[in-house]
Chain A
Amino acid sequence: MKPFIQVQDAEMVFTTRKGRLQALRDIRLDVQRGEFVTLIGHPGCGKSTLLNLVAGLLMPTSGALICDGREIATPGPERAVVFQNPSLLPWLSCLDNVLLAVESVFGGREPRARIKVRARAALELVGLSHALHKRPHEITAGMKHRVGLARALAMEPKVLLMDEPFGALDALTRAHLQDELLKIVARTQGTVIMVTHDVDEAVLLSDRIVMMTNGPAATIGEILDVGIPRPRVRVELAEDPRYGAARKAVIDFLYTRHAPVEQAA
């Protein structure tokens, strides 16, 4: 089967004031339809850059990215992004934030009532039916992230791209949202690429963990098949030897073989 997303020899060089900075080199990655892949690595390893390449927010300096048989040239709603900062528009209510997304995707094709139903359904999926008309500043950080997720899901994307979506949350809220995400992904059978720096999050959620070497000029160091069957339940996994083994493999990669380098001026 042809991979759903292909990254072919992508290289990314930023031209900064201090000169050229090679962020990524020789990135080759295939993601199958319905697969959940996480990108993990130390800060500055270019994992977010890679995600932004797939999103189309950045263009690779060389190489190509293909999604569903088409080259990725611009951002688009078929590759919905859940940003690290939920990036809700503060002057719109939760419902209007989601509506803005639904309108841009289904606006020309579906009647207004149907679009509203879609937006409400997405917010219901993330458990926010009670906060439809609240503004972002009236809800908690965890709820904002849910709205961000709802906005992405409402576009019915072919692939969901998540950039450390729960990174700024407290541990309990994060665990709760991870469980929600597991359920949603199980229900929608969607393809997900997620950036994280949390080993447990990566093992819990992904089918494969893409481990990246340290930057600059980072590349994919190793790819781990998690191999734990779904549905996964957090409490049961804690005692699963496969969970421990996967966790150990990632930690070993991150802290023994690719320990964070001290930035030398």
Chain B
Amino acid sequence: MDSAIFHIPGDSVAPPAAAPHAPAAARHDGIDRRGLALCVLPPAIGLALLMGVWALATQKGGSFPTPGQTWDAAVQLFADPFHRNGPNDQGMGWHVLNSLSRVALGFGLAALAGIPLGLLIGRSSFANRMAAPLIALLKPVSPLAWLPLGLLAFGSTNSATVWAIVMGALWPLVVHTAAGVQRVPQDYLNVARVLRLSEWTVITRVLLPAVLPDVLTGIRLSVGTAWLVVVAAEMLTGGAGVGAWAWDAWRHLNVAHVIVAIVVIGTVGLLLEGMLKRLARHFTFED
């Protein structure tokens, strides 16, 4: 079985069709069942293990719901996610959309300020030295710490939440954009100088395309942070949103809903990240 030495045991790559000892299934219909099984099986086992431990731990009853009870609660919740019976009884879908719109607004404002700021800091060492200590000081501050100032300045809880998101989403954008500008190869700038390109052409044809992958990384991290912040901020400020909804469920001791909320928050975060990763792949280039 000579061909086997080229395959790591358990390798998910399909064995070559001509391999004498290829699994019968792979040879039979051209679909690599073994590889497919390796893609699906481990995550399924992981999920099953979690469910098993959860079911075991909640066997004896108590305030913590079993997986079955949680599932029932989820089915009920998602039966009509967009119903609206007054401000205190809205469907899950509305809460998610509310949170997402806050993220969009907060991230949008952060991008409007952060990307130009990052470009400036990356391009000018004076601006860099001016901003570096401030960024170093403010970056480790939890975005929630900005909530009181937001409430003071804007007077509304919704604006304060958006403000906290802006303060969380800003730094990844600034830092990654600036690092991207500083990393633009000197070769490209030398080319621009020899061609005597105008400053506008340098920015649009050389700098921005060169920095784009870094900006997209900043955007991905920034949106991730914004999604973390919105849930926490809503727990404090209330209103309509996933965080507020989860906190409300907790106050009614509806733990099943809290668990559903966690799964929903995780899923939305995962989808956001996946979308932005795909977007970034479109704009990466190789030398």
Where the two chains meet, the residues of A that have a C-beta atom closer than 8 Å to any C-beta of B are: 55, 57, 74-77, 79-81, 83, 85, 87, 89-92, 100-101, 104-105, 135-137, 155
Q: Besides A90-B285, A137-B287, 17 other CB < 8 A contacts?
A: A57-B193, A57-B194, A75-B190, A75-B193, A77-B195, A80-B194, A81-B190, A83-B191, A87-B185, A87-B187, A87-B190, A89-B188, A92-B205, A100-B195, A104-B196, A105-B195, A136-B287
Q: Does B29 contact A (CB under 8 A)?
A: no
Given contacts A85-B187, A90-B287, contact A77 B205 (CB under 8 A): no
- Which chain B residues border A85 with CB–CB below 8 Å? 187
Partner of A76, one of B191, B194, B206: B194
Tell me, in angstroms, the Cα distance from A189 to B188 when the chains sit together: 28
In the complex, number of A-B residue pairs with CB atoms less than 8 Å apart: 57
Interface majority SS on B: helix, strand, loop or mixed? Answer: helix
- Which chain B residues border A76 with CB–CB below 8 Å? 194, 196
Pairs A-B, 8 closest by C-beta atoms: A137-B286, A87-B187, A90-B285, A91-B209, A75-B193, A104-B195, A75-B194, A81-B194
Partner of B190, one of A77, A83, A104: A83
Q: Does B131 contact A (CB under 8 A)?
A: no
15 contacts between A and B (CB under 8 A): A55-B194, A57-B190, A75-B196, A77-B196, A89-B191, A89-B205, A89-B206, A89-B209, A90-B285, A90-B286, A100-B201, A104-B196, A104-B201, A137-B286, A137-B287
Within the complex, the shortest CB–CB distance from A192 to chain B, in Å, comes to 15
Which of B190, B194, B201 gathers most chain A CB within 10 Å?
B194
- Which chain B residues border A137 with CB–CB below 8 Å? 285-287
- Which chain A residues border B262 with CB–CB below 8 Å? none
Closest chain A residue, CB of each to CB of B283: A91
- Which chain A residues border B191 with CB–CB below 8 Å? 83, 87, 89
Tell me, in angstroms, the Cα distance from A75 to B186 when the chains sit together: 14
Closest chain A residue, CB of each to CB of B212: A91
Closest chain A residue, CB of each to CB of B198: A104
B187 touches A83 (CB 8 A): yes
- Which chain B residues border A92 with CB–CB below 8 Å? 205
Q: Does B25 contact A (CB under 8 A)?
A: no
Residues in B150-202 with C-beta less than 8 Å from chain A: 185, 187-188, 190-191, 193-197, 201
Q: CB-defined interface of B45-82 with A at 8 Å, one 1/0 digit per residue? A: 00000000000000000000000000000000000000
Tell me, in angstroms, the Cα distance from A74 to B193 when the chains sit together: 8
Closest chain B residue, CB of each to CB of A55: B194
Closest chain A residue, CB of each to CB of B205: A100
Closest chain A residue, CB of each to CB of B193: A75
Residues in B240-287 with C-beta less than 8 Å from chain A: 285-287
Q: CB-defined interface of B193-225 with A at 8 Å, one 1/0 digit per residue? A: 111110001000110011000000000000000
